[in-house]
Amino acid sequence: MIKTVHFVYFVFLALILTSCGSSLSIPIQNISLADQHASIPTKLLKAKIDFLTKKGISIGQQDPTAYGIGWKASSKDRYRSDMEDVMGKYPAVQGWDLGHIELGRNINLDTVSFELMRRKIIEGNKRGAITTLSWHLNNPQSNGSSWDTTSAVKTILKEGLNRPKYVEWVSKLADYIKSVKDENGNAIPMVFRPYHEMNGGWFWWGSASCTPEEYKALYRDFVRLLADFDVHNLLYAYSPNTLNNPQEYERFYPGDDFVDILGIDIYNHGGDSNFAEKLQEDLKVVRQFAQTHNKPFALTETGNVAPGNTQWWTQILYPGIHETGIAWVLLWRNARKDHYFGIYSEEASATDFKTFAKKEDILFLEDIDQFTFKPQTKTQ
Ligand code: BMA
């Protein structure tokens, strides 16, 4: 009887603590990051990612609250996302792209206004989401897009011809990243994935346009430049595309001192059975690499490029990510009916997504927002 009373009391206490949103104390002096001067909130974000990885897989999407299929947010609209329209839950991880910030534009390459993006990141952060950033910047040599593979990396490093222009581009990026602040004036901590999918040949920083050594130099230089511009609110992610062979993961790796999170982007361009195989093989490679290098890892981009299987979420994606140890999976953007990677109302696999969402290890914003983190004080 006494035992039962104690147990009930314990459960009651646990519930109170959870509902009060008690903060977990983190010994931040043990956290060392690519940016040696990373802010305390940034260290706490790293702790949050480590903590949540043990709880399950956080579901994310790119541009989730800026637009969806058939709608585009304005700053006055309610906080909306296609995922929430379908099932009442927001993505836990919210990705954004800063392409064209380097040109001083007001909107990014996908017509998201940088002002709106700032507001949405601030609101997402307030609600407990993890923010990730990518940068589809133009080619500094040709002024073409990210997909213009004209050789450019050499021209922006060291004394290269385009160095001053590139440094200016990075300074514009830095200004924006620093301007995204919470209500207390602290720059919001975010995960940045510079120069992603480098093992593919489609970007100017990709394997068709520079050597692995040049790539590593580019990545390291980028991390140093941002620190020089006083950006201290970023974790850095390394994020190759589907591997052609296991060794490829390491080929462009800039080193443990420059990377906080390991990632990989895998889509089903080669069909679903090939996708299932790649998830199994490549996530194993990344997991082993992550264990050796003691870093969390994530499926930093994915999605169904050929929707048709209405059970894709439970039959294909879930078996491929369940028990892999990934921290999150980020679905790419819901741009148009012929270019979307999540679900939306009336989408054929939306019902299956709801079943997928009920799995115990699948986490949405409402599953992670009660966990807050604070630095451990000396007396604790
Ligand atoms: C790609 C596509 C493009 C987009 C780019 C950057 O994968 O979605 O339409 O411009 O990402 O977001």
Domain ranges of the chain: 56-370
Q: What is the atom index within ligand 1 of the atom nearest the CA of 136? A: 6
Give the mean model confidence (pLDDT) for residues 64-74: 97
Tens of pLDDT, residues 168-214: 999 999 999 999 999 999 999 999 999 999 999 999 999 999 999 99
Q: How far is CA 172 from CA 101, 105, 179, in A?
A: 7, 10, 11
Whole-number Å distance, alpha carbon 160 to ligand 1 midpoint, is 29
Hey, whose CA ends up nearest to atom 10 of ligand 1?
110
Following DSSP, what letter does each residue of 192-231 receive, concatenated? E-TT--TTSSSSTTSTTTS-HHHHHHHHHHHHHHHHHTT-
Whether 214 is catalytic: no
Q: What is the atom index within ligand 1 of the atom nearest the CA of 109? A: 10
pLDDT at 131: 99
Whole-number Å distance, alpha carbon 337 to ligand 1 midpoint, is 14
Does residue 110 line the site of ligand 1, with CB under 6 A? yes
Does residue 133 line the site of ligand 1, with CB under 6 A? no
Q: What is the atom index within ligand 1 of the atom nearest the CA of 110? A: 10
Tens of pLDDT, residues 317-343: 999 999 999 999 999 999 999 999 999
Give the mean model confidence (pLDDT) for residues 235-246: 98
Whole-number Å distance, alpha carbon 196 to ligand 1 midpoint, is 13
pLDDT confidence bin for 21, thresholds 50/70/90:
low
Angle ∠(136,325,90) on CA atoms, nearest 5: 60
Does residue 200 line the site of ligand 1, with CB under 6 A? no
- Per-residue pLDDT at 243 exceeds 50: yes
Whether 197 is catalytic: yes
Q: Candidates 61, 62, 98, 109: which one to mutate for ligand 1, based on the most atoms within 8 Å of Cβ?
A: 109
Hey, whose CA ends up nearest to atom 4 of ligand 1?
110
Q: What is the atom index within ligand 1 of the atom nearest the CA of 63? A: 12
The Cα–Cα gap between 51 and 269 comes to 32
- Per-residue pLDDT at 2 exceeds 60: no
- Per-residue pLDDT at 221 exceeds 70: yes
pLDDT confidence bin for 244, thresholds 50/70/90:
very high
Does residue 100 line the site of ligand 1, with CB under 6 A? no
Tens of pLDDT, residues 22-55: 899 999 999 999 999 999 999 999 999 999 999 9
- CATH architecture of the domain 56-370 equals Alpha-Beta Barrel (3.20)
pTM recorded for the entire structure: 0.94
Q: Which of 197, 248, 323, 360 is catalytic?
A: 197
pLDDT at 379: 64
Look over the chain and give the mean of its residue pLDDT values, rounded to a whole number.
94
Classified as helix, coil or strand, 314 is helix
Contacts of 236 (CB under 8 A, 6+ apart): 34, 35, 191, 192, 193, 194, 223, 258, 259, 260, 261
